[in-house]
Structure 1
Amino acid sequence: MITPPTEQTLADQQLVSETARRRTFAIISHPDAGKTTLTEKLLLYAGAIDLAGSVRTRKHQRHATSDWMAMERERGISITSTVLAVDYAGCRINLLDTPGHQDFSEDTYRTLMAVDSAVMVLDAAKGIEAQTRKLFEVCRRRGVPILTFINKLDQPGREPLDLLDEIEQVLQIGATPLNWPIGSGGDFQGVYNLSRRQVLRFTRTAHGAHRAPVQVADLADPALETLIGDAAAQRLRDDVALLEGAGAAFDEATFLRGEVTPVCFGSALNNFGVEPFLQTLVELAPPPGMRMSDRGLIDPITEPFSGFVFKIQANMDPQHRDRTAFIRICSGRFTKDMQVQNPRLGRSIRLTRPSRMFARERETVIEAFPGDVIGVTNPGVFAIGDTLCVGSPLTFTAIPRFAPECFAVLQNRSLAKHKQFHKGLEQLVEEGVVQLLYDPDGLRRETILAAVGELQFDVVQARMAAEYNVETTLEPLAYTAARWPTCSPEVLSETRLFSTIRQMRDSNGDPVLLFANEWELAYVERERPQLLLRVP
């Protein structure tokens, strides 16, 4: 007689199958390469939205998806990372949309700690740009596999071979094309799938639609000329022969090690090549794997629940003025209202009101699995980087912080809004939008903000006005760098410093030195090594 499986066996089997179908990734790019457009079109093809830029809701109202803040919609840029969870082709896709602008790169770096793979979007005319290179290096350090989408093929751009060569030379990673463009700019006709030997025709219509794929059994077939024209057919044959001669076959194991990136061409704005790319992403992107902790590698299947907080966001729901902690689940099964340990605090915490995120839309979560990102109510006990776990305590690799380069004094324009002013600052600092510094010797305690980029100050002022009803003024300070001395207080007080170097304290009470320029910082690092300067 066959013994029926136990509840525990069924639960274990579900954990294995649910983990295997998770795909958790971020999209990285330089501003204006088309990252947000590609995000919207991926959601469109996944069936999560009806129109690019609008979310399905019960009342069929239109809302922005990845860019949900008022300031994001006004400026047309992504300011804060967003979580978007959808189902497609039997997989659960957890898409973490990140800001492209360098002034918000700290938020992006934190988010990249929570993904298993990444999509790199390049502008066909501009290739590798500064912010793309920085974000790529973050992924490389973590060994994150990267898929590449070269965008805007319907506009004038560089030669495809030139773009592949730049990827390999600048990023020092192999680049293997999975499809190949037929023409470009005004002559762009579509792409040729190298493994399936199919031509995907691009036709310029109101919705950027394209015809069904056309099978081409042999590129020598004269029917190819009829399909795309004599010149384009000969160019395609020459390019494919060159690629085959160079041994450009794709190797999945090399990709998963982060040594090669598969490359697809298309046009996100015109919906061309996006659906095939989404299919490729689901096929190639890895499911959740092991994560390093102070106890060694944590297996997503065999270990009990664990995860870490990579983001905190206040006021996602303006009607409730809530604070949400975003948790990336690394191992085990999450269940609603479960008790977990926070090793940093040395205490047990109940994870209340868990929700699955789709930008600012929420859905209550009963259970979740490795690779998922959930939001839980933060009563002020979570900080960015906190590990949450069940069973033996552990701590995942710390989330990096970055030294601020911009500084300013923030002033409240209304004394009657004193309480709202400080509450807003407290929550924005908790989110990591800015750091808060003060002068311990000052006659009055000025509110000095420190940020990676100047646009963060605009975010602070805009959100203080919109979310806390507090109008503020900002006075920039003439400093360009900050470092934290780790020496003893006695050594710091006995060390002679330039009069232009300002000694401050951060929100934890730790000493901070502000430098007027890079030369000043370099001199102190070289001539005053006893200070043991560090970044945050």
Structure 2
Amino acid sequence: MELAPRSLTPCLNLGIVAHVDAGKTSLTERLLHAAGVIDELGTVDDGSTQTDTLDLERQRGITIRASVVSFELGSPDRPVTVNLVDTPGHSDFIAEVERSLAVLDGAVLVVSAVEGVQAQTRVLMRVLTRLGIPTLLYINKIDRSGAREKSLLADIRERLTDKAIPLGTVTGAGTSTAAYVPFGKDDERHRARLADLLSEHDDALLRDWLDNADGVSTRRLERAVAQQARAGLVHPLVHGSAVTGAGLDEVARAITTYLPVRRPDVEGPLAGSVFKVERGPSGEKLALVRLTRGRLGVRDKVRFGDVADRVTAIRVHDRGTLVRSTSVAAGRLAEVVGLESARVGDPIGDGAVERSEPQFSPPTLETVVEPVREADRGPMYTALTRLAETDPLINLRHDDARGETHVSLYGEVQKEVIAATLATEHGVPVRFRDTTVMCVERVVGVGAALEVISVAPNPYLATVGLRVAAGAPGAGVTFGLDVELGSMPPAFFRAVEETVHETLAQGLRGWPVLDCAVVMTASGYYARQGHAHQRFSKAMSSTAADFRGLTPLVLMAALRQAGTVVEEPMHRFDLDLPAAALGPALRLLAHLRAVTRTTQVHGAAAHLGGLVPAAHVHELQQRVPDLTGGEGDLACEFEGYAPVTGDEPPFRSRTGPDPLDRRTYVLEVRR
């Protein structure tokens, strides 16, 4: 099958995000039903929704993995292809949300008209703002008892965004007959509100409105709303009910009007990115690809930096299903088989920009996974390796000496999901040890070290000199040269650089080293040679293995001279609670070493915000329900790192050969 004609229609990569239970998946079902993709509405309670396909998702009633479905909105003569990404709402899967958001053109943020602006809603809005994604606000559940309109709008402007623009009002809120009514074109109060907000970014509109408000047409105001919404400057707001269908036509129209619909460039050089990796039923690697330019066909060779793989099959998301196709064009999302080298975040194609590290919130917890049955140790590691392909942020780490397998986590729910996935999909039941916090190390000084070829105690045929210093905050680990680029073969420089990054995954106390600048200050090698009349001899010639073996010894010696400080992860917390529980909550936060930055009281309700060590987040989550009589709403989001207080910083057991123990290291590497 060939999907080329439809691929030329304007397209929109859309994400729907929300706090758990705000109605995100139900809204998705409504849109699919209205577009004719499904004949019958599914429900989260029955586990019959189109996008929650995992057994665990259906059992728990939550979205765990992002899923994709494609459909059309708009009029028959002006259709828009919408590639909708349904994302998780639970904070333990924030990395899955951010991976999905990175490929979106726009988003719909769902807010419950009953529960209002919840803590996780604020976290999601911050992520959308940070990534610069134009966002439409959808107030769901207007038919539910307790649904609010005016007071909720005030909360949104105060606690979520002051750029919200309501496009209509609600009648019969809180009843089964609740309806959404768009503002009329002659509604002067609405026109005045639009002009007031839009003129902040449009000087010409402000001038014309002040000179003659009647002379500014409603059509001009509507065009300005659309332009500023597509730029992410304002956020149009509509109401509705995903259960009754109230306001559905208006939200569908708002999606294509106020979010950036693009006409794809199918003629340019191939450019796109891999935003998700899965395994098929036969174990084949499936790369979910978003194409931004050009066309990709079966048997095409696709480049990932220095590597190229050949496409063996393509399945395109089309009208709610995956359709096998000989090619896929820009503007579509496709499942591509054959890209065995693909990783999440990889750019693809000759026209793609260089890979940049995605700014995902890092996992801050770690645990050891053990098989229930000792015979499953090998299969368990194989299964975890497959999971690491789909979610590289679990940072799979194996300690051969202790026989331990470590994974990184965002929270306890994620641990349950990993266990269920291993048991149901791979037949490997597992258990976990206690969860521990993942710290980091930062360089505090400058250190340098040098080992010269053929000079004891250097056992390698290589000369490596390195200087280590603190890097710019957020810069990561950088590598530079203070030697002539032509002084060694490129493969040797590449070996040193790659080994530097690998080695700094475990600093002086075993934690990853952040924001570190490493410079190579000396280099040397023996050229290829051999005995007379004999072939090439490794014993007399330098190889990349010599540089890979020597670099950790030099780097750790320089790092020891520079010194490091251990820092622990801190989470930003947002806690909504009854004002009566404010005192006990503040005492609990102080006990958990939290720093409270904001305290707000609104009548019988209160809000607390600040920082709490990641080590105490789980305890805080467990105690909030009892502390607040079940009325507390807590969201935590990674904020950064702070130095660990106390006499002895925590130590993390090392995996692999330890370059801080020279004699043992050399013996293990040689083995």
Cα deviation for residue 381 of structure 1 reads: 1.0
Map 1:185-196; keep pairs closer than 5 Å. Answer: 185-186=174-175, 188-195=177-184
SS in 1 for 2:175: helix
Pick from 74, 77, 80 the counterpart of residue 62 of structure 2: 77
Matched residue SS, 1:421:
helix
Question: Secondary structure of 1:67's partner?
Answer: coil
Question: Which residue pairs with 1:471 in the alignment?
Answer: 429
Is 1:283 matched with 2:257? yes
Match of 1:362 in 2: 322
Q: Which residue of 2 aligns with 1:51?
A: 40
Larger radius of gyration: 2
Unpaired stretches in structure 2, ≥5 consecutive residues = 196-220, 442-511, 517-554, 569-612, 618-639, 649-671
- 2:265 and 2:439 map into 1 onto residues whose CA distance is 40
What displacement does 1:497 show? 7.7
Query: How far is the alpha carbon of 1:357 from its aligned partner?
Result: 3.5
Q: How does 1:255-404 map to 2 (within 5 A)?
A: 255-288=229-262, 300=265, 303-315=268-280, 317=281, 320-343=282-305, 346-357=306-317, 361-377=321-337, 380-390=340-350, 394-404=353-363
- Secondary structure at the residue paired with 2:145? coil
Of residues 41, 47, 52, the one that matches 2:30 is 41
Deviations 1:474-517 (A, max 9, x none): 1123326456204542354457789999xxxxxxxxxxxx9967
Distance 1:458 1:303, change over 3 A: same
Do the aligned residues in 1 keep the contact of 2:291 with 2:333 (CA within 8 Å)?
A: yes
Shift of 1:241: 6.0
Instruction: Give the structure-1-normalised TM-score.
Output: 0.73
Q: Using the alignment, how far apart are the partners of 2:156 and 2:416 within structure 1?
A: 34
Q: Please give the alpha-carbon distance, in whole angstroms, between the structure 2 residues aligned to 1:443 and 1:278.
A: 57
| Structure-2 change in CA distance of 1:65 and 1:244 (3 Å) | same
Match for 2:415: what amino acid?
F
Distance 1:498 1:517 in 2: 21
Mapping 1:434-445, distance limit 5 Å? 435-436=394-395, 438=397, 443-445=401-403
Structure 1 residue 378: Cα displacement: 5.1
Which residue identity does 1:97 align to in structure 2? D
Deviations 1:419-446 (A, max 9, x none): 3212211010111165245476x74131
Q: Which runs of 5+ in 1 are unaligned?
A: 1-10, 55-61, 198-239, 290-298, 502-513, 529-536
How much does 1:167 deviate?
2.8
For the structure 1 residues 403 and 150, does the alpha-carbon distance in structure 2 shift closer, same or farther, using more than 3 Å as the test? same
Q: Which has the higher contact order (CA 8 A, sep 6+)?
A: 1
Distance 1:150 1:515 in 2: 32
**Which residues of 2 match residues 25-40 of structure 1 at below 5 A?**
25-40=14-29
- The DSSP-based 3-state class of the residue aligned with 2:308 is strand
1:409 is matched with which residue: 356, 364, 368? 368
Residues 516, 274 of structure 1: CA spacing in aligned structure 2 closer, same or farther, 3 A cutoff? closer
Q: Distance in 1 between matches of 2:168 and 2:255?
A: 14
The answer to whether the 8 Å contact 1:24/1:94 transfers is yes
Residue 354 of structure 1 aligns to a residue in which SS? Answer: strand
Q: 1:349 to 1:269 in 2, by over 3 A?
A: same
**1:85–1:356 contact (8 Å) kept in structure 2:** no
TM-fit CA distance, 1:408 = 1.5
Q: Deviations over 1:266-322 (max 9, x none)?
A: 110112212331133123322248xxxxxxxxx94663111111111234x4xx233
SS of structure 2 residue aligned to 1:476 = coil
Q: Using the alignment, how far apart are the partners of 1:398 and 1:192 within structure 2? A: 44
Alpha-carbon offset, residue 173 of structure 1: 4.3
Cα distance, 1:174–1:497 mapped onto 2, change above 3 Å? closer
Counterpart for residue 161 of structure 1? 150
Q: CA deviation at 1:87?
A: 2.6
2: distance between equivalents of 1:21 and 1:398?
A: 29
How far 1:418 sits from its partner (Å)? 3.4
Contact 2:13/2:104 (<8 A) preserved = yes
Shift of 1:86: 1.6
1:453 matched to 2:411: yes
Deviation, 1:330, is 1.2
* Equivalent position amino acid for 2:278 in 1: Q
Instruction: Indicate conservation of the 8 Å contact 1:357/1:374, yes or no.
Output: yes
Aligned partners of 1:119, 1:393: CA distance in 2, in Å?
A: 27
- The counterpart of 1:179, out of the listed 160, 168, 191, is 168
Counterpart AA for 2:416: D
Structure 1 residue 32, shift from structure 2 partner: 0.8
1:221-271 residue CA offsets vs partner (Å, 9 max, x unmatched): xxxxxxxxxxxxxxxxxxx66434434654211111101111111110112
> What is the number of residues matched between the two proteins?
438
- Shift in CA distance, 247/87, structure 1 to aligned 2, threshold 3 Å: closer
1:61-98 Cα offsets, whole Å, 9 max, x none, are x9641100000000000000001012333221100110
Q: What is the identity, as a one-letter code, of the residue corresponding to 2:270?
A: F
Q: What aligned pairs does 1:39-188 form with structure 2 within 5 A after superposition?
A: 39-53=28-42, 64-89=49-74, 90-157=79-146, 159-186=148-175, 188=177
Question: In structure 1, how many angstroms separate the alpha carbons of the residues matched to 2:319 and 2:643?
Answer: 46
| Alpha-carbon distance, 1:20 to partner | 5.0
Note closer, same or farther for the CA distance 1:187–1:473 as it changes in structure 2 (3 Å cut). Answer: closer
Say if 1:284 and 1:496 are closer, same or farther in 2 by CA, change over 3 A: closer
| Contact 2:122 2:160 (8 Å CA) reproduced | yes
The structural deviation recorded for 1:110 is 0.6
* Whole-angstrom CA distance in 2 between matches of 1:397 and 1:454: 30
Post-superposition offset of 1:377: 2.0
Give structure 1 regions of 4+ aligned residues with deviation exceeding 6 angstroms. Answer: 495-501, 525-528
- Cα 1:438–1:326 change in 2 (3 A) is closer
Deviations 1:108-134 (A, max 9, x none): 001001110101100012322222222
Please report how far the alpha carbon of residue 337 of structure 1 lies from its aligned counterpart in structure 2 after TM superposition. 2.9
- Counterpart CA distance in 2 for 1:419 and 1:480 is 26
Q: Return the alpha-carbon distance in structure 1 between the equivalents of residues 90 and 151 of structure 2.
A: 25
Structure 2 distance, partners of 1:430, 1:360, is 25
Distance (Å, rounded) in 2 between the aligned partners of 1:151 and 1:515: 32
CA-to-aligned-CA distance 1:363-396 (integer Å, 9 cap, x gap): 1123333231111125631111111113x66325
From 235, 240, 246, give the equivalent of 2:193. 246
Deviation at 1:525, TM superposition (A): 10
What's the offset of the Cα at 1:332? 1.5
Q: 2:566, 2:644 within 8 Å by CA — same for their partners in 1? A: no
Q: What SS class does the counterpart of residue 642 from structure 2 fall into?
A: helix
- The 1-side partners of 2:312 and 2:398 are apart by 38
Going from structure 1 to structure 2, the CA distance change for 1:525 and 1:302 (only over 3 Å counts) comes to farther
**Structure 1 residue 490 corresponds to structure 2 residue 572:** no
Match of 1:50, as an amino acid? D
Judged with a 3 Å threshold, the aligned counterparts in structure 2 of structure 1 residues 420 and 379 are, in CA distance, closer, same or farther, namely: farther
**Could you tell me the percent identity over the aligned residues?**
26
